[in-house]
Structure 1
Amino acid sequence: MANHKSSIKRARQTIVRTERNRAEKSRFKTARKAVLAAVAAGDKEGAAKASTVLSSYVDKAAKRNLIHPNKAANIKSKTSKAIAAIA
Structure 2
Amino acid sequence: MANHASADKRNRQRITRTARNRAIKSELRTTVKKARTALKGVPQESATPVAAAVSALDRAASKGTIPAKRASRVKSRLALALHKASAAAKTAAS
TM-score (norm 1): 0.88
Measured in 2, the distance between the counterparts of 1:44 and 1:15 equals 42
Structure 2: state its 5+ residue gaps.
90-94
Runs ≥4 residues deviating over 2 A: none
Aligned length: 86
Report deviation, 1:34: 0.3
Q: How does 1:60-71 map onto structure 2 within 5 Å?
A: 60-71=59-70
Query: Hey, what does 1:74 align to over in structure 2?
Result: 73
Report deviation, 1:55: 1.0
Deviates more, 1:62-71 or 1:28-37: 62-71
Query: Hey, what does 1:25 align to over in structure 2?
Result: 25
Report deviation, 1:43: 4.2
Q: Secondary structure of 2:32's match?
A: helix
Report deviation, 1:4: 1.4
Structure 1: state its 5+ residue gaps.
none
Structure of higher CA gyration radius: 2
Q: How does 1:30-69 map onto structure 2 within 5 Å?
A: 30-45=30-45, 47-69=46-68
Over the aligned positions, Cα root-mean-square deviation in angstroms equals 1.3
Q: What amino acid does structure 2 have at the position aligned with 1:69? A: A
Measured in 2, the distance between the counterparts of 1:85 and 1:38 equals 13
Measured in 2, the distance between the counterparts of 1:13 and 1:58 equals 24
**How high is the sequence identity, in percent, across the aligned residues?**
38
Report deviation, 1:44: 2.6
